[in-house]
Amino acid sequence: MSKQDGSSRQVTSGPVDDSATPILHVDMDAFFVSVELLKRPDLRGQPVLVGGTAGRGVVAAASYEARRYGVNSAMPMSVALQRCPNAVVLSGDYASYSVYSKRVMAIFEEITPLVEPLSIDEAFLDVSGARRLHGSPAEIAWSIRRRVFDETGLTCSIGVAATKYVAKVASSRAKPDGMLVVPAADTIAFLHPLPVSALWGVGRVTEESLARFGLRTVGDVAGMPPAALERAVGPALAAKLGSLANGIDPRHVHTTRTEKSIGHETTFSHDLTDQADLRRELLRLSDNVAVRLRKAGMVGRTVVLKLRYGDFRTVTRSRTLAEPTDVARRIYDEVSDALRELIGDGERVRLLGVRAEHLRVSTTGAMLWDPDEDWRDAERTIDEVTAKFGKGAVTPATLVRPVGDRRADTPRPSTRDDDAAEAAAGWGW
């Protein structure tokens, strides 16, 4: 049995058929803010934001009190404060978030070995094999919510369903601090009244495309002839949306997750026009990407530059390398060349980003001729110094910022794809 309150929130409040719903999606409630409130209980009940506070800072997380004003993650902080002037803004403590994330994930792993983390604050669980020890899926979900709160002081919302997609939708409907079980037999009835934005892969642009064809609900998409749906969004996305709209999602919970890309980006507190400043920033971003590649034991075959102009036009350029790399200098050379093609003198730049894609595991074998050998050795030596003495112990002279430099990193939202429906604040970008 489920009930719906005056908002769109929907929770399970009584006995329900969970016999064919082994997939759980657990999502921490306003995670960054909730961790901050453990240290600042005096702020409970107030609109609280976590994120960049300078210039063009971005909201990484918003309390539910702040969300009532139309504030959400990934929103420019300046816009958020216009909508909610009395919000308390905190810069964030990412080390604490990591600690609490590990505690929560450890609870999940005590229930089942089939845990697939999606980010620092959410995960899929397959509890098919946990019934004998821990009870039915609904009972396990109740137990997880209780343990997370008792052991961390944090709350989470859980969706329980037959598939990953439906479980994730259910957890979002149960927020905050709720649980929603969608019996397998009720999947279609649950999905079809929802807006098309509830479908994975439907963002603003795709939603507008579907609306032009009169498709406003998931049920509308499910009933659309495949050929007509392809004309609206293309063959690949049409096949995906058609399946999801009919409750079909064959994906399993995977305990290992391969990173598809590693990237960093920066939004400047004021538009940059000086090309020397832009290239200095590209070097810093390239170095951050390379460090993360080496830590992950990965190399990237494709390097991507992201650039947003002062008028908000956004472009990307990719370069495919002859050999995959984890060397900052090689990454920098490629994105620097791409930048040269995109900007002229006096062009205003609002944001720069660097990303490595087409990743694979780095091998120890050396190439017959390695043009980056000297740089690779130097950067790995810097890694060793950093591990021993801390970040910043060795820094390229180019990256030493003058006093009064106004640039500031901003938290980057984590998206599943370029047109993702959900854009929660990310971790580790």
The CATH number given to whatever domain includes residue 112 is 3.30.70.270
Question: Does residue 425 form part of some domain?
Answer: no
DSSP string, 48-93: EEEE--STT-BEEEE-HHHHTTT--TTSBHHHHHHH-TT-EEE---
Q: What's the mean pLDDT in 191-216?
A: 92
pTM of the model: 0.69
Whether the per-residue pLDDT at 79 is higher than 50: the answer is yes
Kind plus residue range of the DSSP H or E element containing 232: helix 226-233
Indicate if 235 and 288 belong to the same structural domain.
Answer: no
CB 36 within 8 A of CB 172: no
Based on the structure, what is the number of domains in the chain?
A: 3
The per-residue pLDDT for 257 is: 64
The per-residue pLDDT for 57 is: 78
pLDDT in tens, 154-181: 999 999 999 999 999 999 999 999 999 9
Whether the per-residue pLDDT at 150 is higher than 80: the answer is yes
Query: Which residue numbers are catalytic?
Result: 122
The segment with the largest mean pLDDT, out of 9-13, 102-106, 316-320, is 102-106
Quote the domain boundaries for residue 136.
16-182
Question: Does residue 411 form part of some domain?
Answer: no
Indicate if 171 and 27 belong to the same structural domain.
Answer: yes
Closest by alpha carbon to 153, among 65, 35, 49, 45? 35
Whether the per-residue pLDDT at 417 is higher than 80: the answer is no
Indicate if 25 and 169 belong to the same structural domain.
Answer: yes
Provide the pairing of β-strand 10-12 with 2-4. Answer: antiparallel
What is the residue type of 52?
A: G
Q: Is 374 annotated as a binding residue?
A: no
Query: Which pLDDT band holds residue 87 (cuts at 50, 70, 90)?
Result: very high
Indicate if 235 and 330 belong to the same structural domain.
Answer: no
Question: Does residue 409 form part of some domain?
Answer: no
Question: Does residue 310 form part of some domain?
Answer: yes
The per-residue pLDDT for 296 is: 84
Indicate if 177 and 200 belong to the same structural domain.
Answer: no
Q: Is 27 annotated as a binding residue?
A: yes
Q: Could you tell me which residue, 260 or 364, shows the higher pLDDT?
A: 260
Indicate if 175 and 230 belong to the same structural domain.
Answer: no
Q: What's the mean pLDDT in 57-69?
A: 92
Indicate if 150 and 20 belong to the same structural domain.
Answer: yes
Indicate if 166 and 101 belong to the same structural domain.
Answer: yes
Query: Which pLDDT band holds residue 379 (cuts at 50, 70, 90)?
Result: low
Question: Does residue 405 form part of some domain?
Answer: no
Cα-trace Rg, the chain? 23
Q: How far, in Å, CA of 237 to CA of 250, rounded?
A: 16
The per-residue pLDDT for 4 is: 54
Indicate if 146 and 289 belong to the same structural domain.
Answer: no
Q: How far, in Å, CA of 401 to CA of 386, rounded?
A: 19
Indicate if 162 and 202 belong to the same structural domain.
Answer: no
C-alpha atoms less than 13 angstroms from C-alpha of 409 in its C-beta half-sphere: 16
Indicate if 226 and 94 belong to the same structural domain.
Answer: no
CB neighbours (10 Å) of residue 180?
Answer: 31
Indicate if 148 and 208 belong to the same structural domain.
Answer: no
What is the residue type of 88?
A: V
